[in-house]
Structure 1
């Protein structure tokens, strides 16, 4: 069954929900859906109490290390962490309590070319079993390209079954945000989900556009239950009015009575 993987997105040291494609370097075009008055540790403890393992803490830019460490301390071994991960600091975050480190940008050079040597350095640092590759992507002609640098820079790497086959030898999981629909609550990128759902070698989590429980059911059907899902801006936990957090917890526990707001 497709599991709900919770998230803690950090920006400026606070838990936020941001429209993914607007997170530029200068911040001028930033669109924020939600800013929480609760700390990252509160969310981590909530997920711990509800048994929602495998979620991710994402540091969106500088100024988030302290909040990320608080979340990891609230649930040691229960959360993954991403944002600024490198071969030099990856082990430090594992020691801080992360179950896995999530990486994207450090795998590419400035021109967006995949550097397999950097990937191998990360494997040497923490082991493939602790590594999640974030292949968050944007639509391009004929498919999808991995986007780095807060999803602003397209790389040369296309998201295909062949790409997944090659990279699967060097990681434990994949995390894939559909950046074009992230934060919009407008529905999933069904074509991307269908393509990813046919590839079933490693655990994979999809994020982007989920706005109703039925979207998760569709991901479940398209992937044969092998792909998990993350919900952000649509969730009442983050100020949304489309999906109740309690319904997702109940779904995970196999309970009935789920409703959308």
Structure 2
């Protein structure tokens, strides 16, 4: 059967998107729900001995595009700059991005900047802020992070290390609005982030219905087969980030080399 007569043969399939989560200048894997201003309550799954630069170089070597560097709190700027310098144009950066410094991060080598908290002054969504970001760096350079927590069967955007809920629900209406001003979406399911207990299947399935631009989901991936699961649930519209389950982050259930091979195979099929 030819590709022309079999539409599924040309359908995009989900890809693995790498991450570099920075806390205190180090690459860490953290249980998302424990992030806050009090580090004594922080639950950390893994602290890397390798530098952010080394992770960036590894991702570059394996041609893993669209990965994100997330600065979780202060003291991470230098570490982020080192990672971006190791692969100019190959990584996105988020955490503390403001209209006033967004272009600086593009100039430092970021493919795109990722924004959340700056769009929600006093925890209320500001279309003016979103427009300002889009005008400053350009729609093609902007990723909106609508990381969320589930409350009363709804997903509510969370900001400030996922501790504060905003007035925005993640749904078709909000996604369609955001897509007018950005080129990509990033969604951390904060309630399952870092737990390695499985993805939020319902959220992934809904995202597959809602999104029309590239979208990456993070949270709970624990098995190699989760990449194919996300691809099936989202009809290939949503990519997947793995964290604490990966052997490069001290995980026991997913080998980085196997995941890279599967992702590239799914891309080429």
Using structure 1 for the length normalisation, give the TM-score. 0.96
User: In structure 2, what is the equivalent of residue 258 of structure 1?
Assistant: none
User: 1:252 deviation in Å?
Assistant: 2.1
User: 1:28 deviation in Å?
Assistant: 2.2
> Deviations 1:73-130 (Å, cap 9, x if unpaired)?
00000000000001000000000000000000000012x1101111111111101110
Using structure 2 for the length normalisation, give the TM-score. 0.93
| 2: CA distance, partners of 1:129 / 1:217 | 28
Is 2:147 aligned against 1:136? yes
State how 1:173-212 maps to structure 2 within 5 Å: 173-212=184-223
Q: Is the 8 A contact 1:200 1:223 kept in 2?
A: no
> Deviations 1:149-194 (Å, cap 9, x if unpaired)?
0000000100001110111000000000000000000001111111
Q: Which runs of 5+ in 1 are unaligned?
A: 256-261
User: 1:43 deviation in Å?
Assistant: 0.3
User: In structure 1, what is the equivalent of residue 163 of structure 2?
Assistant: 152
Is 2:251 aligned against 1:253? no
Q: Is the 8 A contact 1:16 1:34 kept in 2?
A: yes
User: 1:253 deviation in Å?
Assistant: 2.3
The correspondence for 2:75, drawn from 63, 67, 74, is 63
User: 1:200 deviation in Å?
Assistant: 3.6
- SS at 2:130 equivalent: helix
Work out the number of aligned pairs and report it.
254
Q: Where does structure 1 differ by over 4 angstroms across 4 or more consecutive aligned residues?
A: none
| 1: CA distance, partners of 2:76 / 2:92 | 15
Q: Which runs of 5+ in 2 are unaligned?
A: 1-12
